[in-house]
Structure 1
Amino acid sequence: MATFRPKYITFDCYGTLINFQMAEAARDLYGNQLDEARMQKFIRNFAAYRLDEIMGAWKPYAEVVHNAVERSCKANGVDFREEDAKTVYERVPTWGPHADVPAGLAKVAKEIPLVILSNAMNSQIMSNVEKLGAPFHAVYTAEQAQAYKPRFRAFEYMLDMLGCGPEDILHCSSSFRYDLMSAHDLGIKNKVWVNRGHEPATPYYGYTEIADISGLPGVVGL
C-alpha cells in the first residue's frame, strides 16, 4: 500500500481523530453510584446500545444518545434522568483531537484531499473538525446520508458525493464494527486501522495498521 496514492483519504471522525469520551461522560454521571466492576459493565452496555440504536432508520443523534443512556441505566439498575442524556449529547462538540492528529493530518493534507464520514449531526461536527488543525475537502454526516455507519448507505452516499469508486479511496478508522468491516464488504481495498485500543485486531478485513495518525503519511509514501 505504500505506493498507493488515493484520490481521497476518508476518515471516521470520533474515536479515530477526535478523542471520543463517551465512557468518561458516563463515569462522570454514574461513577458515584456504581463500583468499578459495575461501572465497567455500564460503559460496555452504553457502547453496545449506541451501536444498536443506529442500525435502523436514521434518527437524530440526540435520540441515539438518549435511548442508549436510558437502556444502559435500566440494565444496571440506575435511575435514568433525561438531563443526563442531554448532558452527554451536549459534550460532543467540545471534544478535541488526539494529540497525534493535527501534525499527521497537516502533512498528508498538503498532497491528498481529506474527507470525513461521521456518525454526527450537522450541528455537532464542525466544532470538532475546526479543532483538527488541517483543511478538509469535504465533511459528510449521517444526517446528510440519512444513515449511520456501519450501514452501507452512509458509505455509498460519500462515494456518490465524491464522484468516485471504492478503488479510489483510502479509508482510515479505529473501528472495525463501524467502518472497516463495511468498507471491506463494499470493496474498499485500501484501509488503515488506527489502533486506539478500542477493538482487537481482525486481519481478515485487510488493512495497514498504524498506532496513531503520525504513521499515516508513511502509508501513502509521504
Structure 2
Amino acid sequence: MIDFEPKYITFDCYGTLTNFQMGETARQLYGDKLDAAKMAEFVEFFRGYRLDEVLGAWKPYRDVVVNSIRRTCERTGVPFDEATALKIYDAVPTWGPHADVPEGLARLASKYKLVILSNAADEQIDSNVAKLGAPFHKVYTAQQAQAYKPLRKAFEYMFDQLDCNPEDVLHVSSSFRYDLMTAYDMGIKHKAFVNRAHEPLTPYYQVNEVKSLPHLAEQLGL
C-alpha cells in the first residue's frame, strides 16, 4: 500500500498512459528497407537519439522526431526523407491509451486531482488526453515549460504552476530515464513505476512498482 495522501497525482503521458508506438510506427515505415535484425537496431538507435535530442535547449517536438530519424538513418545507412519522418510525428495524436488506463484513471479521479506533465507539443496532447477518458486538473507540456523531461526545468515549471512542492505529489511513470530518476533527484519522495516492460525496475530510486493503473488505485485504497 502507498501510505500517502497526495495533493496531486502527476503523470507522464506517452508510454505510461498513452500506448506510445514510436517503434511500431518506425517498423511500418522502414521495415521494407531493413531485415529483422537491422530493423531492431534501427528502433534502438531511434529510441536513444530521441532522448539525446531533448537534453539541450527546447526545440519543437516536430524537430525532436525528425532529427532523431535523420540521425538514425545516418547511423544505419538508410536514406533519410523528411516527409517519412513527419509521418511518425503526425501519428502521435492518433494513439490511444493502454487497455488498463481508462478504468484506473476513473478510480483515481474519484478522489484525487490528476495532472499530466508530458514531452509533447500543444497541438498534439489534447487528442491523446481526450482518448484517456478521465478528467484532468491540469495538462502541461514541454512546449509550455520550454524544456523536456528529464530536465529539472520541466518539473519545476509544473510545480510553479501548481503552487506546490515535490513532496506534495505522487509522480507516476513507466520510465526511469525520463521521469523517475529526475523525480528522485528533485526530492519527490512518492513515486510509482508502472511496469510496461520497456524499462527495468530500478529499486535504487525508491519507487512503488505497479503492474497497471487499477493496481495503483488499489495501492491507494481505491
Question: TM-score with structure 2 length normalisation?
Answer: 0.99
* Aligned position for 1:150: 150
Give the CA deviation at 1:221: 1.9
Q: Residue type matched to 1:111 in 2?
A: K
Rounded Cα–Cα distance in structure 2 between residues aligned with 1:101 and 1:69:
29
> Does residue 199 of structure 1 match 2:199?
yes
Aligned to 1:61: 61
1:12 alignment counterpart: 12
Partner of 1:38: 38
Render the CA deviation track for 1:102-161: whole Å, top value 9, x for unaligned: 000001101000000000011100000000010000000000000000000000000110
Q: Which residue of 1 aligns with 2:173?
A: 173
Q: Can you give the 5+ residue segments of structure 1 that lack an aligned partner in the other structure? A: none
CA distance in structure 1 between the aligned counterparts of 2:75 and 2:6, rounded to whole angstroms: 44
Preserved CA contact (<8 Å) 1:118 1:141: yes
Aligned equivalent of 1:22: 22
Tell me whether 1:211 sits opposite 2:211 in the alignment: yes
Q: Equivalent residue for 1:99?
A: 99
Give 1:125's aligned residue: 125
CA contact (8 A) 2:107 2:214 kept: no
C-alpha distance in 2, partners of 1:102/1:48? 29
Q: Secondary structure at the match of 1:191?
A: strand
Counterpart CA distance in 1 for 2:219 and 2:27 is: 36
The size of the alignment, in residue pairs, is 222
Secondary structure at the counterpart of residue 112 of structure 1 = coil
Aligned residue type for 1:7: K
- CA-CA distance at 1:5 after TM superposition: 1.0
For the Cα contact (< 8 Å) 1:150–1:177, is it kept in 2? Answer: yes
Matched, 1:50 2:55: no
- The runs of at least 4 aligned residues of structure 1 exceeding 4 Å deviation read none
How far did residue 201 of structure 1 move?
Answer: 1.1
Shift in Å at residue 218 of structure 1?
Answer: 1.7
Contact 1:55 1:148 in 2 (8 A): yes
Question: Alignment partner of 2:5: what SS?
Answer: coil
Question: Aligned pair 1:161/2:165, yes or no?
Answer: no
How far residue 185 of structure 1 moved from its aligned partner, in angstroms, is 0.1
CA distance in 2, matches of 1:89, 1:205: 31
Q: Which residue of 1 aligns with 2:221?
A: 221
Aligned sequence identity (%): 63
Secondary structure of the equivalent of 1:18? coil
| Deviation string, structure 1 residues 76-124 (Cα, Å, up to 9, x no partner) | 1100001111100000000000000000000110100000000001110
Structure 2 gap segments, 5+ residues each: none
Query: SS at the partner of 2:13?
Result: coil
Q: Measure, in 2, the Cα distance between the counterparts of 1:50 and 1:212.
A: 25
| Alignment map for 1:76-95 (pairs within 5 Å) | 76-95=76-95
Query: Is the CA contact 1:2–1:218 (under 8 Å) kept in the aligned structure 2?
Result: no
Using the alignment, how far apart are the partners of 1:140 and 1:201 within structure 2?
A: 26
Q: Secondary structure at the match of 1:196?
A: coil
